[in-house]
Structure 1
Amino acid sequence: MASETDPACAVAHGAGGPVTETRTLVAVFSSPVAEFLLRYGQDLGYRAVLFDPDETRTAGVPGAEATAVLPDLDADTDVVVTDHHRAELGPVLRDVLAQPVRWAGVMGNPRHEGPHVAALRALGVAEADIARVHRPIGLDIGSRRPAEIAIAALAGLIADRNGRPGGFFPR
């Protein structure tokens, strides 16, 4: 049987080992993309956290933590900013970058410099820290709806975590 000899096939049939790492996915700012990102992230084994400094917007996603105070973040934390139009963007991202997060990214159009760059510079954040912020985020799959954007972002995070470029396998 193929699943007995091919580890990838065995995993596809549910024979994957137990998850031994604790990964955290923080969606910054409540949005439709954040909802899908956290819901799907839980299915991928992430501890899902919605952070929005406006406590009236932290209604959250079932199973996800919701907070108006930025939690302590560590090297196993991936942070995705889901709204680059919020006035709090600069201070929130500055505070995220002050912690040892594994990955931080901001959604947005890749044809324009993200508003986070000017906001972080105005706050005196070092250029090296500003360069840690990924933009655009996720794999380029032509996403047009919140669920698709969330899938593209999560696929990009998985590829990055596994040291892969993402995309299709060569034929």
Structure 2
Amino acid sequence: MGEGGPRRLVVVFESPVAEALLRLAVEVGFQSVLVEPDQTRLQGTPRPHGDLFVHDLAAAHLDDDTDVVLTDHHRAEIGTVLKEALAARTRWIGILGKPQVEGPHVKMLRDLGVPEEEIARVHRPIGLNIGARTPAEIAVATLAGLIADRNNRPGGTAF
């Protein structure tokens, strides 16, 4: 982790979970950024819960104080977004998804030539195992897991 840099949470892909993450992240001390590459997916005017809204990952200023969370595991852009996040040496990267099946990001990253040790840096599932179901519960579980990880605590993430 960087020395004294701001904790930054980059939430990729507009979704109900993204909205809850952005809203709550500010409350727990993150500078938050929404990245939505497809402007047609935005629900009206972007709401200002985050500190920044951008259309691509490069504009999010990724560094080793940045945590990246992808909130949709069905998007075609997943592979390229994750490859860019991995190359930027972000602190932590995760993608929402059910733990019972391998995430589609694995094949996408392999197809892009990303080495296995880099693919293994992408966490899935993410957050604390609290049985979260609603977007707000998923956001709370995700943020709690990030806080635990930053503080070198186990956080109960086993699924």
Q: Is the TM value for this pair above 0.5? A: yes
Residue ranges of structure 2 left out of the alignment (5+ in a row): none
Q: Which has the higher contact order (CA 8 A, sep 6+)?
A: 2
Which residue of structure 1 lines up, in the alignment, with residue 35 of structure 2? Answer: 51
Superposition RMSD in Å: 1.2
Which of 137, 147, 152 matches 1:148?
137
Deviations 1:26-70 (A, max 9, x none): 111000000000110000111110001112335433241111121
User: Which letter maps to 1:147?
Assistant: A
Structure of greater Rg: 1
Unaligned runs of 5+ in 1: 1-19
Equivalent pairs, count = 148
Q: Equivalent of 1:134, from 109, 113, 123?
A: 123
Partner of 1:9: none
For residues 106 and 56 of structure 2, what CA distance do their matches in structure 1 show? Answer: 23
- d(CA) in 2 for partners of 1:100 and 1:27? 16
Aligned partner (choices 64, 69, 75) of residue 56 of structure 2: 69
Residue in structure 2 matched with residue 36 of structure 1 by the alignment? 20
| TM-score with structure 2 setting the length | 0.89
Identity, % of aligned positions: 60
- Counterpart for residue 46 of structure 2: 60
